[in-house]
Structure 1
Amino acid sequence: MAWGIALRRSEERELALMWSARWSLTTRILAVNIFALAMLAGGFFYLDSYRSQLIDARLDEVAVQARLIAEALDAAQPDRQHVLLEQLEQASDLRLRVYDAGGARVLDSWLVGPPTYVLRDPDEEAWQRKAARALDRAIDIVVGADRPERFNEPARDTLSAWPEALAAKKEGIPETRLRRAPDRTPVISAAVAMPDTGMTLLATTNARDIVRIVRAERLRLGIVLAMVITLSVLLSLFLARTIVRPLRRLARAAHRVRLGRAREVQVPRLPSRRDEIGLLARALSDMSLALRQRIDATEAFAADVTHELKNPLASLRSAVETLEKVKDPALQDQLLDVVRDDVHRLDRLITDIADASRLDAELSRARFETIDLGQMIEGLIAQREKRGIDADVRLAFARPHAGTAVVLGDGSRLTRLIENLVDNAISFSPPGGLVKIAATRDGDEVVLRVDDEGPGVAPDVREAIFKRFHSIRPEGEAFGQHSGLGLAIAKAIVEAHNGTIMVEDRDDAPTGARFIIRLPVAER
C-alpha cells in the first residue's frame, strides 16, 4: 500500500505544472509559439549591431580619406589648394574645411563647390519619415543603443568649435567623432593635422545611406516576422482548436456523467481522430458505456434482490401471524417448519447475494497465481464424497496429466466455480446418477466439462440460466432450495478469468446437460 501511494505521488509530481498551472491549454500553445517568435524578434538587436559596424566602418573610411586629403593639400602649392580642394570634395563627397595655426578657417569646399549634403528639418518632412524616425527611436530605446550628441553648425566656425580638430592638432593623429543630425541620421567627422603647414583639416559627411540600409533590412525582417507571427498564431489557433475543443467536449461529458446523468450523456467517440485524443475519446466513451451498464445492472440486481426477499418474508410473516391464532399443536409444528424453511431460505439468499455483490470488486483486486485444475478438482471431489452426496449421486473425474490443466487465477473463486457447477449437476441428476467431470488441454486453452444425467437445458433458455435469480429447478425439488445465483456467480468468475462458459446437450448419452468452460492456459 505504501509503495502504491509513493508511486502515485511520484506520477503526480511528474505530471504537475508549476508556473503555468492556471493557464488554459490554448494560452500555453500561444505562449510557447510566441516565445519562439520573440527569439526571432531578437534580430532587431542584431540590426543594432549591424548599424554599429556600418558606422565604425564609415568612421574608419572617413578618417583614411581625411588623412589622404590632408597629405595632398599639405604637399600642394598654396595657390593650388582651392582648386585641389574642390576636386577632392567631388571625389570624396565630403565637406572639407581647413583651419590655420591660429584656428581661423581658411578654406571651405562649400565656398568653392556645391554642398555635399543637406541637413533636413524634421518638421518639414512627410508623416512617413516621421513615423520611421519614431520607430527608430523606439527600437533604440528597446535595444539600449547609444545616443550620440546632436550636430549643430557652430555660429562662429573656428577650430575651437570642433573638439576632434583640437585633439587631432594636439595629438598629431586623426580623430573622428559621431553626431546625429536633426533627423536622427549620423553625421561623421574626421580631423587630421597637417604638420608641414601647421594647419588642420576637418572632413564631415551626413551618412544618410546607413539609415536607409538599416531601415531596409529592418523592413525585410519586419515583413518576415509579421508573416511568421501570423502563420504561427493561425497554426496555434488551429492546434488549440484540434486539441482544446475535443478535450473540452470530453470534459463536459465526463462532468455530466459525474453528476449522475450517465444514461443521457453521449460521450463523443471522435471516430475520425487517429491520434491520442481519439484514443482518449473512445476510451472515455467505452468507460461511460461500461459505467452505464454497471449502473443498470446494479439497479436490476437491487430490484431482483427486493423481489426475491419479499417472497420468503411474506411467507414468514404469514406463518408468524397464523401461528398466534392456531391452537392445534400439529398445525403449530407445521407452521414452525415453514418458519424454519423461510429463515434458512433467507439466510441462503442473503449469503449468495452478498457473495455476488462483492464478487467483481474482489476479483478486480485479486492476485492471480498458477492453479492446477486437476489437483483442485480431485481435492474437491474427495471432500464432497466424505460429506456425502444427495440421492447417492456418483462423481467421476478423468484426471489429466500433471501440469496439463494449469491456469492463472484466484484459487478460492475457481473452487467456488467448480462447486457451483457440481452442485447444479447433482441437483438435476436422478437418484444413483453419475456426474462426470473432465479437464483437458486444447491448444492455448484448458477445457473443463461437467456432465449430468438430468433432463438437459432447452435451447431457448441456455442464455437465461446464467442470469441472476433465474432458476429452473427439477421436478419434485422443494421450493426455495436454491437462490438462482449459482450459475450467475459461475459465469462472473469465468469471465473475470478471461474465459467463456456455455451449456449444450450431451453427445454421449440420451439425456443430460454438459457445461463447458474454457480458460486460458497459464504461460510458463
Structure 2
Amino acid sequence: MPDASGRPAEAAAPVSQGEKTRLRASPLLRRILLLNAVAPALLAASLLYLDQYQNGLLSAEVESLRTQARIYAGGIAEAAARVQDDRAVLVPDVARPLLRRLVEPSPNTQAKLFDTTGLLVADSRVREGQGGAIVTEPLSPPEPQGAFEGWLATVYDRILSWLPRNIGFGGSDVVVDVTPGAPSFDWQPALGPDRQQELRLALEGGVRPYIRRTSDGQLLVSVAEPAKRGNQSVGIVLLTREARQVDERLLEIRSSVLGLFLLALLLTVAASVYLARTIASPILALAGAAAAMRQGKGRAGSVPVPLLARTDEIGILSRDLQSSATALWARIDQNERFAADVAHELRNPLTSVRSAIETLKRIENPEHQLRLLAIIADDAVRMDRLITDIADSSKVDAELSRTASEPVEVGPILAALTELHNTTRKPNDPVVVLELAPGPLAARGVEGRLVQVFRNLLGNALSFSPPNGRVWMRARPTGAIFEFMVEDEGPGIPEAKLDGIFARFYSERPEGEQFGKHSGLGLSISRQIVEGLGGRIAAENRRDEGGKVIGARFVVRLPLA
C-alpha cells in the first residue's frame, strides 16, 4: 500500500549496513574463480601423479642394469675362474681388479662379487690404499638441489602422500621400497634360512631386482646375476646403481607441469575477473538500483544507462527492471488520482445529505420534509452505487492476475443479454439487434468479467439511444482476434473525448438523465478488464455518407481462443 507520499510503505526504510556490505561484496566472483580453478587444479594433480611415468623409467633402468650385470658376470666367469677337478672355481685375486676395471666407466655404479657360499669376494668401491690400508669409496652423494627444486620436490612428495600410490612392475618382477632409509640388498656371512633361499635363487638367476631410496634421498636399483662357467655357477654379481636420471626426468616433468599450471591458473583468474566484471558487477549495480527504487529515488530511472544499452541478458534484465519501476510509479500515481477522485465524488452526495439534514431540522412543513427525505434517499443510493463500483474497480486487476484465462463461448452470452433486454424493455425503449458470425465464436478471458464488459457497453449504448432506437451488438473473428462491437443511434462522442470517456468518473451523461444514476466508472472498469485480458478497447463515431455523426461505436478486441 502506498503511503501519503505516493511511495510504497516499505520504501521509507533505510538500507541497513549489512545490505550495503552485501552490495559491495561479490560472492559470485569467488564462485566463478573457484569453479574455473577446478579444471586446472585437477589437471595439475593428475599430471603430478607421475607413478606410471616413473615406473616406465625404473623399468628401463632395471633392464639396462640387468644387461650390464650379465655382461660383468660373463666376463668374470670367463676371465676370473679356473677349472679344477672338472669343477669351476673363482679366483679372487683375478676377479677383484677385473671387477674394478669393468665398473670404472660407470661412476654411479657399485659392483660386488660373492662366491657360491655367499661370502663377499670383491667390491668395486673397496681398494687397497697407501700402506696396505683398505679404503671404501661409497657411491657419490646426490647433487644438492636448488631452493626451487627442493621446494618443488617437497610439495610434490606431500601431494603424493595424500594420494593412493601403485608403484610396481607387475607385483612379482621387481621388489620396490621407496621409503627413505630402506634396508640394503646384500648377502653377508652367517646367512639365515631366508638368505640361504635368496642365495640359492641368485645362483640360479631367479632373484628379483630391488629398488629402494636411501635416507639421503638416493634412488638405488640393485640386480643380481649368476656368473657361470659352462653350466656351473662360480659366483654372484650384485650391481647397484643410482637412478639419478629418473629423478632428473621427473623433476623436469614436474617443473613443466607446474609452469603450465601456474599459467593456466593465471589465465583462469583473469578470465574469472573479466567474467565477474561482466556479470557480477552489473548485477550488483542492478541491486543498488533496486535499493534506490525501494527508497523512492528511482522515479526518473535509477538503472545506469550503460546497463540499459547492453544487448545481452543483463541489458534485458536492466530494461525490464526499469520498465517495472516505471509501471509501479505509474500505478502509484494512478492510485493517488483515484483516491483524490473518490474523495471528490463522495464529497458531493455527503454535502447534499448534510445540507438536507440541517434544513430538515429547521422546517416543519411535511411536504418539504418529504422532499428533503427523498433527496437524502437518492444521495444514499448514489453513494452506495459509487462505493460498489469503486470496490469493483479496485479489485479488477488483482482478480485478473489470480485467475487464468480460458476459452469463453461468446455467442450464448450475447444472445442471453439481447433476449433479456428485448423481453423486459419498456415501451419506447431501444431495441437490441444481435449479429453473430457463423460458427463457434470463443474469446480467451474470464467469463464473469467478459459478461460485465458486455453489460457495461450495452447499458451505455442504451442510455444514449433515442426512444424507439436501435442498438447493434456484433461479434466476429478477424484473424487471431475476437472483435466485439456495440453501436447506437445516439448523439455520438465529442472528438476530443474519444479516449477521455474511459477515464474514471467521466461525467458527461445523456440529456434528461436523472443525476447520480451512473457512477462514471463503467467504461473505466471495462477498459481495465479488457486490457487485463491482453486486449484493446476503443471508441469512435458512426457517420453517414455525408460525414454526419449518427451514433457511437465501441470496439473490443481480445485474443481468439
Normalising TM by the smaller chain, what interval? 0.7 to 0.9
Query: In structure 2, what is the equivalent of residue 453 of structure 1?
Result: 489
| 2:531 partner amino acid | E
**Separation in 2 of the partners of 1:118 and 1:384?**
118
Instruction: Give the 3 Å change call, closer, same or farther, for CA 175–343 of structure 1 in structure 2.
Output: closer
Kindly report which structure 2 residues correspond to 1:72-111, keeping only aligned pairs within 5 A, or say none: 72-77=75-80, 78=91, 81=95, 84-90=98-104, 94-100=109-115, 103-106=119-122, 108=124, 111=127
SS at match of 1:474: coil
Kindly report which structure 2 residues correspond to 1:265-344, keeping only aligned pairs within 5 A, or say none: 266-267=302-303, 270-344=307-381
**Separation in 2 of the partners of 1:370 and 1:170?**
98
Query: In structure 1, what is the equivalent of residue 22 of structure 2?
Result: none
* Greater strand fraction, Structure 1 or Structure 2: 2
Query: Shift of the alpha carbon at 1:305?
Result: 1.0
SS at match of 2:486: strand
| 1:325 partner amino acid | R
**Separation in 1 of the partners of 2:266 and 2:521?**
67
* Greater helix fraction, Structure 1 or Structure 2: 1
Kindly report which structure 2 residues correspond to 1:437-448, keeping only aligned pairs within 5 A, or say none: 437-448=473-484
**Separation in 1 of the partners of 2:242 and 2:48?**
24
Query: Shift of the alpha carbon at 1:215?
Result: 0.2
Instruction: Give the 3 Å change call, closer, same or farther, for CA 82–411 of structure 1 in structure 2.
Output: closer
**Which whole-Å deviations, capped at 9, do the CAs of 1:311-348 have from their partners, x for residues lacking one?**
11111111112211122223222211211121111011
Query: In structure 2, what is the equivalent of residue 138 of structure 1?
Result: 158
SS at match of 1:202: strand
Kindly report which structure 2 residues correspond to 1:174-323, keeping only aligned pairs within 5 A, or say none: 174=207, 176-181=209-214, 183-194=216-227, 198-255=234-291, 257=293, 263=299, 266-267=302-303, 270-323=307-360
Return the TM-score normalized by structure 1: 0.81
Instruction: Give the 3 Å change call, closer, same or farther, for CA 450–176 of structure 1 in structure 2.
Output: closer
Query: Shift of the alpha carbon at 1:502?
Result: 1.9
Query: In structure 1, what is the equivalent of residue 179 of structure 2?
Result: 148
Query: Shift of the alpha carbon at 1:381?
Result: 2.5
Match of 1:48 among 29, 48, 51: 51
**Which whole-Å deviations, capped at 9, do the CAs of 1:413-437 have from their partners, x for residues lacking one?**
2222222222222322334443333
Deviates more, 1:185-194 or 1:205-214: 185-194
**Separation in 1 of the partners of 2:234 and 2:476?**
122
Query: Shift of the alpha carbon at 1:216?
Result: 0.4
**Separation in 2 of the partners of 1:273 and 1:166?**
84
**Separation in 1 of the partners of 2:398 and 2:499?**
24
User: How many corresponding residue pairs?
Assistant: 496
Query: In structure 2, what is the equivalent of residue 37 of structure 1?
Result: 40
Deviates more, 1:346-355 or 1:74-83: 74-83
Query: Shift of the alpha carbon at 1:379?
Result: 2.1
Return the TM-score normalized by structure 2: 0.77
Instruction: Give the 3 Å change call, closer, same or farther, for CA 403–175 of structure 1 in structure 2.
Output: closer
**Which whole-Å deviations, capped at 9, do the CAs of 1:458-512 have from their partners, x for residues lacking one?**
2112111101112212333333222111111122222233332222221238434
Query: Shift of the alpha carbon at 1:99?
Result: 4.1
SS at match of 2:436: coil
Query: Shift of the alpha carbon at 1:152?
Result: 9.9
Query: Shift of the alpha carbon at 1:262?
Result: 6.5
**Separation in 2 of the partners of 1:96 and 1:308?**
117
**Separation in 2 of the partners of 1:175 and 1:443?**
91
SS at match of 1:479: coil
SS at match of 1:393: coil
**Which whole-Å deviations, capped at 9, do the CAs of 1:159-208 have from their partners, x for residues lacking one?**
45999997753432345433335651312233344465744433222221
Query: In structure 2, what is the equivalent of residue 11 of structure 1?
Result: none
- Unpaired runs of 5+ residues, structure 2, are 1-25, 81-90, 129-135, 166-176
Deviates more, 1:262-271 or 1:319-328: 262-271
CA RMSD across the alignment? 3.7
- Is 1:118 matched up with 2:140? yes
**Separation in 1 of the partners of 2:38 and 2:425?**
82
**Which whole-Å deviations, capped at 9, do the CAs of 1:60-90 have from their partners, x for residues lacking one?**
4323322331122012145764664355324
**Separation in 2 of the partners of 1:521 and 1:96?**
98
**Separation in 1 of the partners of 2:152 and 2:281?**
42
Query: Shift of the alpha carbon at 1:235?
Result: 2.0
